[in-house]
Amino acid sequence: MQMKVFEPLQIKTMKIPNRLGLSSLLNNPVGEDGGPDATTIEWFEARARGGVGLVLCGAVQPIAPPPGMTMWRRISLALYDDQYIPGFQKIADAVHKHGSVFGVQIAGGGPMTGSGPSLPPYPDQLHATMTVTDALGAPSFPIREYSVADIEFSENAFAATALRAKKAGADCVEIHCTHGGASFLCSFLSPYYNKRTDKYGGSWENRLRASVETIAKVRQAVGKDFPVLIRFCGDQLIGEKGITVADTMKYIVPAFDEAGVDAFDVSQGDNIRSVEGISIPMYIPRGAFIYVAEAAKKVTKKPVFGVGRIVEIEMAERFLQEGKADLIFMSRQFTSDPETFKKFLAGKNDEIRKCVGCLMGCGRPCPLNYDIQDAPVKMTPAKKSKKVLVVGGGVGGMEAARIATLRGHKVSLWEKEPELGGMVSALAKTKLTSEFQNFLDYLGIQMRKLKVDVRVCKEATIPEVEVLKPDVIINATGSSMVIPEIAKGVPGVMDHIEACKNQRAIGQRVVIWGLVAAELAISLAEAGKDVIMIGRGGEETLARDYPGSRRWYVLRKLLDINTVRELTPQKKVSNPQVRFFTDVESITPGVLHLVDGQGAKSDVPFDTFIISRERACNNGVYEMLKGKAPEVFNIGDSNKVGDIKEAVWAANEVARKI
């Protein structure tokens, strides 16, 4: 049977060559003048080259940002003036070269950027009970209420921008009416933000008015045959206070259908209140949000697009076959591997580098994809094939081995443990972060397919290295957790990595020292252990370096902060328990003697005491091997303790130059 993903989709004048799309992602490069530059064009061309049918650009600005809003200048392309048309024309040409179609999403306004349909406080007293969440993106500036003149001005700006997109050769435009407080139109739609009493507030008809008027004006600007799409919020993920799936079916889709849109791109979430529907963390099952597209499909005959952590073409195909959507966006997936579709077509499914949903950049600093950034070191065949020894088989070491082999070097990789993966394999064994296994699978398969000479349980010693006589040594021996003096040799003490790798040895009563280990703590609690986290810092240090919505999820679970939505059970849990400003005074067998910031002491019995604090570079091997080959490099954690991205990128920077 012919797969559905291969079928073209005709929407008025636009023929999408297949059923896969790149939805708008505000991660495309922006030129100095706010419009596209050569890097932007190459960025979009790379997506089209990979075979995705519909390429949408990140939300463009229809209105010049007010002075001071420099953030938008950096991440959102400007199309509020005709001067930007030639740049967009170049993107359209570049995308068309590969047979894909190009669309421009138009967005603007909303409480997140300082203007809303009505003023806070919103139903759950947005700021009243918040503490750390303010740091997570809630608007901190006064919100201005749209006047009727402002509404008209915005609607006209959408229409003028749509016409510019059409003139630039775009195949469609998409009106952004989603993500709650992130959007002018969605915030008008949402009963959560819209408390107006004029013709733009109150009833559904009134709240829909700004969107319906915008659709009409855009239609008038671009003509009847030009495809006009709308991305709307099918579920604001804040329960009855916001837009619900029932509203989608009863009010939103019928109104937009009648207003004359040509296709529905259904997403979910609210950038201020439920960001996990937009920047979807790895904790949320793949494809979990397809229900919103499915709901829309029940009430319209027009094409419906589905989105949300879909990383496998097989899943896209299944949703298409089941009639849940007519096109599937796999957006971050085309960031972590722009060649996804091509590899699938070539029967190289196992070589696809699947997005892990880590949110550690989502775009140009994608930790898995070094090439996504603006100025990567180019991949060129090596001038001379060298004998390369990579010491350490974590992700940095494997990536270095992969790149060096692809360039024509002869690579051996030695790992002292029985398995590859290093610290990332520990993360992959933690329930909440198990998606990291995707990356390990990818690199492991690459090692096999590229025939890298991989040796596990093999330590690098000087005699062995002297026998091999490498021209280049790349040391990637990672880092180790530092065990504080007070815990050294104590029965039941494990470091974080050891604990992940040897979970069967973890007892029932677990204390974790270090507030960064929130994902491990939650995973162990969900596995039935009684977990207490302790740390010397306050709330701001809990999961401190976690990216965006991963932190949001964890904080909501562990702290008593104001929240309105239970997507997965996210009411504060009592297990794990978190104790701030807490230090270990002494340890006796099976008991921790703790002291808090006020000097209050407590004894906490434990079976397992997990240490997750500082890490130290394992640079001993590098020091030993320095001078043992003409070129010796030290990359990743063994050079400087950092994150996955730093290890993978350092591997590329070295392996592309040797």
Interface residues toward ligand FMN, by CB under 6 A: 23-27, 58-59, 105, 176, 178, 231, 267, 278-280, 307-310, 329-333, 362-363
**Are the C-beta atoms of residues 303 and 7 closer than 8 Å to each other?**
no
Q: Which helix (H) or strand (E) holds 255?
A: helix 253-259
Residues 167, 221: Cα–Cα separation, whole Å: 11
Q: Give me the least distance between CB of 295 and ligand FMN, in Å please.
A: 16
Sheet with 601-605, side-by-side order of all strands: 583-588, 591-595, 601-605
Residues 342, 539: Cα–Cα separation, whole Å: 45
Backbone dihedral region for residue 361 (phi beyond 0: left; psi -120 to 50: alpha; all else: beta): left
Q: Give me the least distance between CB of 309 and ligand FMN, in Å please.
A: 4
- Select 132 or 315, whichever has its Cβ closest to ligand FMN: 315
Q: Give me the least distance between CB of 57 and ligand FMN, in Å please.
A: 8
**Are the C-beta atoms of residues 344 and 6 closer than 8 Å to each other?**
no
Q: Give me the least distance between CB of 25 and ligand FMN, in Å please.
A: 4
- Select 185 or 238, whichever has its Cβ closest to ligand FMN: 185
**Are the C-beta atoms of residues 518 and 558 closer than 8 Å to each other?**
yes
Within 10 angstroms of residue 599's Cβ, the number of other Cβ atoms is 6
**Are the C-beta atoms of residues 180 and 236 closer than 8 Å to each other?**
yes
* Start-end of H helices in 389-436: 395-406, 422-428
- Select 95 or 497, whichever has its Cβ closest to ligand FMN: 95
Nearest to 470 by CA among 462, 482, 478, 479: 462
- Select 115 or 331, whichever has its Cβ closest to ligand FMN: 331
Q: Give me the least distance between CB of 504 and ligand FMN, in Å please.
A: 33
Q: Give me the least distance between CB of 87 and ligand FMN, in Å please.
A: 17
What DSSP assignment string belongs to 154-170? HHHHHHHHHHHHHHTT-
- Select 312 or 646, whichever has its Cβ closest to ligand FMN: 312
- Select 307 or 473, whichever has its Cβ closest to ligand FMN: 307
Residues 6+ apart with CB under 8 A from 650: 396, 635, 636, 639
Q: Give me the least distance between CB of 499 and ligand FMN, in Å please.
A: 30
- Select 290 or 610, whichever has its Cβ closest to ligand FMN: 290
Nearest to 624 by CA among 460, 468, 396: 460
Tokens representing residue 109 in the block: 């306004």
- Select 24 or 369, whichever has its Cβ closest to ligand FMN: 24
**Are the C-beta atoms of residues 609 and 592 closer than 8 Å to each other?**
yes
Q: Give me the least distance between CB of 527 and ligand FMN, in Å please.
A: 26
Q: Give me the least distance between CB of 119 and ligand FMN, in Å please.
A: 25
Q: Give me the least distance between CB of 460 and ligand FMN, in Å please.
A: 39
Q: Give me the least distance between CB of 362 and ligand FMN, in Å please.
A: 4
- Select 65 or 590, whichever has its Cβ closest to ligand FMN: 65
What DSSP assignment string belongs to 51-96? T-SEEEEEEEBSSPPPTT-HHHHHHS-B-SSGGGHHHHHHHHHHHH
- Select 267 or 480, whichever has its Cβ closest to ligand FMN: 267
- Select 276 or 637, whichever has its Cβ closest to ligand FMN: 276
